[in-house]
Structure 1
């Protein structure tokens, strides 16, 4: 079945957008399989501290994420350029936080700002990242976080996301 080219472009852009959203969400919820589903296993990955294939990268990045007590990834400003029926490029900005609880119960960490330069490939009917270059633009420490206890933040529910399989996680 042949689709209208403009409709197909919208569907392809939507599928690529879903991969980017899944990337951030599966990092934060420590979903290894979901994270792996964002990349083709042979995808070339370069984060500076890591250069290799996605198959080798996913366990490394998930171990890094597990080493933080709390993490949060926000990606925005996604731009997509289609290069035909099975190739695309994208770029988006990312802001991420990572905190750890110290022995004194105070959380400390950093906030990072960078950009993701991705190449996508469609194999069969599925779009995934085939190449990723991450560029860190800036990093700064967060002020000490007094999470929980008395005060306005203490009444809010806080998730312990230190391991995979949280009961509030819903695969989507």
Structure 2
């Protein structure tokens, strides 16, 4: 007799305190979805701005991504690895005569050496640049060379590079005796 009354009181409380239903606006069926440019249709930076989400909808990554993130997503949708994220050639040890070539679109590239054979030492980060394209790992001696494949600097821009001092940060290569090169 006590249990049915307690159950009825609990059900009554729940009915009174029930939360309001969550509602969202229905998607508008009359508006056509914005056309998303493919990877090969991108020509300017303005093409890398997403259309955004329609009112009342939750945006997807392709709707709201801009800039390099959008460029990467569009490339992945077509099966293109735009940032070339595959590992470096680790089947051999780079030498001064035959270094491991690392392509770069930027004027500077960081690379991690794990040794030869692979994983024979912890990752040692090396920096290569257009000015210093060759770098040698201080642990295993493997040599890497940056191959700059980015755009050449055009002379029609009016940037004044003379007021920016070039600071050459010393690396371990600066302390190696010339006869070892």
TM range (shorter): under 0.3
User: 1 or 2, which has the higher strand percentage?
Assistant: 1
**Structure with larger Rg:** 2
Higher RCO (CA-CA < 8 Å; seq separation 6+)? 1
TM-score normalised per structure 2: 0.22
